[in-house]
Amino acid sequence: MGRATRLSIAVTAAALAATLPAPVAHAETAGFSVQTLHFDTTVGPDGGRHCDVEGDLYTPTGSSADRPAPAILTTHGFGQTKDAQRPTAEFLAGRGYVVLAYSGLGFGGSGCKVTLDSPDPDGRAAQDLVSFLGGADGIAYRDAAHTQPVPGLDLVVRDEIAHDGRALPNDPRVGMIGGSYGGAVQFAAASVDPRIDTIVPMITWNDLSYSLAPNSATAGAGVSSAVPGATKSSWGLLFSAAGVTAPGVDGYRGDPTKLVGCPNFADQTCKVLVTAMARGFGDPAAVRFLRSASVVSYVDRIHVPVLLIQGEEDTLFNLNEARATFDALRGQGTEVAMIWQRLGHSSEGLRTGFARRPDPDTQYPTRRYLDWFDRHLRGASVDVAPAFAYERGWAADPSDPGRAFANAAGPDVGTAFALHLSDGGRLTTDPATIRPGTQSLRTPPAGLVDGATPSNLSVPPGPRPEQQPAGGIAQWTADPQAEPLDVVGAPTLDLEVSTSAPVTGPADAPVLFVKLYDVAPDGAATLVNGQVAPVRIVEPGRPVRVTLPAIVHRFDTGHRVRVAVAGSDSNFRGGLVPHQVSIPAGDPARQLVLPTVAN
């Protein structure tokens, strides 16, 4: 399986990898029929642009105008087509839901170009599919030429009032589900269509400018930063290749407009990708463009219940992104719950997880999203708590699958555990033992890489050895654990960085890469979940707080905590100007803080 395929199959896989805390009974599966249709969707500010969308309609046996059923709309991850949603669609149709699985714009048999799940056109296109589910004619056809019309459905439950309080035409009882690219489009659709009743976005982004070029030294709420970060070169190249090759020869032949300008991408996307790869960060226009395709820009327009599912092993869209969305939704009073599960874009077992079919009796996320739909689409009296659940890999037990997940009222479950930077590369818990000292490292020129680091496209279990040259990394290591240390949440590192040369702005600023390791008794170091926190230091000499990607991890007895600051990383485009960097220790405020929970 190629890397592009591995990236895209995360749509269904991320919801299927975990185990169920307590078995519950659900309706037995029933039969259904499947029909492939084409939809004439209209997008753009004036609705004057037409985009053909190809989709598969799954109709449960027995559903009719006299026995209507609720509906679910679903689409896929980046580079995929509607076919990737077949396991989920069959699972939900077998439980009595009308399901429409479709290929997003620019993918599979759907027309127009890839536009990064923007409210318009991607949200607008989904809006027309909702209208079809609600009974609107003139949208669905049996053929791509739109010459054989199919009437709007009359077998989906109708709502009298939409979520904005208005009585709107063709208003079905409908939810959405999907992962990665198919997760972000749900926010886009819900932001423009109040007829959508609930959404379940999985392993997706909050701010695409952070996802693709994070600066982990953010000053405000969420993950967005006023200072540009460092481009994820590995993910960026894979993303670019997957988008350009997605239509294939037949797709480009069937819609030659995909070749005009930027191949299969909106023209501005190419500008963003080229600039980000060349400079190592996006300019202000690029950041604005990426954020416009992100829920962070329009979260105030999301007012339907949201179940977020995010992967702990995900170096593309990390846990901090789901946390940012959760906080924003909860802060404005929107009903929201969140699950952190092991499987994400970077999981080594992604193929295995993808091959599994949904099973609410053995898979925790599946049970949770089925309960969520039954509650919000059927009105069933089913408990959809807790507001927050996280999977603990160390607690997995085949004889007691309920141990894998812990529940809480919210994600602030950890208590701060401070480890202070001290001379000799030591991390100490006792401020009285701190000793002053300085570690130095260099950053290479032109955004190049000194040495080599493992790919963050996948996170294999066990050690992840790095080849860092002497003088290319600074690190501090704690004493062996006398008992297990369980971390749930985002670690922070407070440090001060000075440079030998002046810094005038982002272009000549040093870029550093902060990493958290689990060091085994034999000395083998594992980069926790493959996560790296880049920081662009535009004000050397001033204290900076680095917020690392959140983790759920146990440092077992005898293991040691290590934090490292590197001058380069093979998965990122580093700083353009070389720097000699010094990081002092000895001040109690220079510390690594881990959010820990009781064993």
CA–CA separation, 235 vs 457, rounded Å?
7
Do 3-408 and 415-597 agree at the fold level?
no
Lowest mean pLDDT among 3-17, 350-364, 389-403, 542-556: 3-17
Tell me the pLDDT band of 352, cut-offs 50, 70 and 90: low
Q: Quick one: tokens of 176?
A: 């959405």
CA–CA separation, 133 vs 155, rounded Å?
8
CA–CA separation, 207 vs 295, rounded Å?
7
Residue ranges per structural domain of the chain: 3-408, 415-597
The pLDDT, as a whole number, for residue 248 is 85
The listed CATH number (2.100.10.30, 3.40.470.10, 3.40.50.300, 3.40.50.1820) that belongs to domain 3-408:
3.40.50.1820
The pLDDT tens digits for 274-291 are: 888 888 999 999 999 999
Tell me the pLDDT band of 220, cut-offs 50, 70 and 90: confident
Report, as an integer, the average pLDDT of 49-56. 97
- Evaluate the CA torsion angle 167, 168, 169, 175 in order and state its sign: negative
**Of the spans 147-151, 224-228, 357-361, which averages the highest pLDDT?**
147-151
| In the chain, % of residues over pLDDT 70 | 93
Q: Treating both helix axes as pointing N-terminal to C-terminal, what angle do 233-245 and 267-279 enclose, rounded to 10 degrees?
A: 150
Q: Is the pLDDT of residue 387 over 60?
A: yes
Tell me, which fold does domain 415-597 have in CATH?
Jelly Rolls (2.60.120)
CA–CA separation, 51 vs 39, rounded Å?
8
The pLDDT tens digits for 316-328 are: 999 999 999 999 9
Tell me the pLDDT band of 350, cut-offs 50, 70 and 90: low
Tell me the pLDDT band of 18, cut-offs 50, 70 and 90: very low
| In the chain, % of residues over pLDDT 90 | 82
Q: 516: which strand partners?
A: 563
Question: Letter for the amino acid at 238?
Answer: L
Closest CA to 103 of 51, 156, 151, 155: 51
583's enclosing H/E stretch is: strand 579-585
Strands, DSSP E only, in 415-550? 415-422, 426-428, 437-443, 473-477, 485-489, 492-496, 498-499, 511-519, 525-527, 533-536, 543-547
CA–CA separation, 269 vs 252, rounded Å?
18
Lowest mean pLDDT among 67-81, 246-260, 427-441: 246-260
Report, as an integer, the average pLDDT of 417-441. 97
The pLDDT, as a whole number, for residue 324 is 98
Q: What is the pTM of this model?
A: 0.94
Residues 462/474, Cβ–Cβ less than 8 Å: no
Strand ordering across the sheet containing 498-499: 437-443, 579-585, 498-499
CA–CA separation, 23 vs 203, rounded Å?
24
The pLDDT, as a whole number, for residue 74 is 98
**Phi/psi zone of residue 162: left (φ > 0), alpha (ψ -120 to 50 degrees), beta?**
beta
CA–CA separation, 34 vs 100, rounded Å?
10
Q: Is the pLDDT of residue 66 over 50?
A: yes
Q: Quick one: tokens of 1?
A: 């399986």
Strands 543-547 and 405-408: unpaired
What's the chain's average pLDDT? 92
DSSP state, 281?
S
Q: Which residue has the higher pLDDT, 579 or 17?
A: 579
The pLDDT, as a whole number, for residue 21 is 31
Question: Letter for the amino acid at 239?
Answer: F
Q: Quick one: tokens of 297?
A: 């820009």
The pLDDT, as a whole number, for residue 8 is 37
Residues 87/62, Cβ–Cβ less than 8 Å: no
Q: Which residue has the higher pLDDT, 162 or 252?
A: 162
Task: Give me the phi and psi of 560, to 5 degrees please.
Answer: -125, 145
Strands 437-443 and 426-428: unpaired
The pLDDT, as a whole number, for residue 401 is 60
Instruction: Report how far apart the first and last C-alpha atoms of the chain are (Å, whole number).
Output: 38
Tell me the pLDDT band of 466, cut-offs 50, 70 and 90: confident
* Placement of tokens 């000895």 in the chain: 586
The pLDDT tens digits for 521-532 are: 999 999 999 999
3-state secondary structure of 446: helix
Cα 519 off chain centre by: 27
The pLDDT, as a whole number, for residue 400 is 65
The pLDDT tens digits for 172-183 are: 999 999 999 999
The pLDDT, as a whole number, for residue 465 is 78
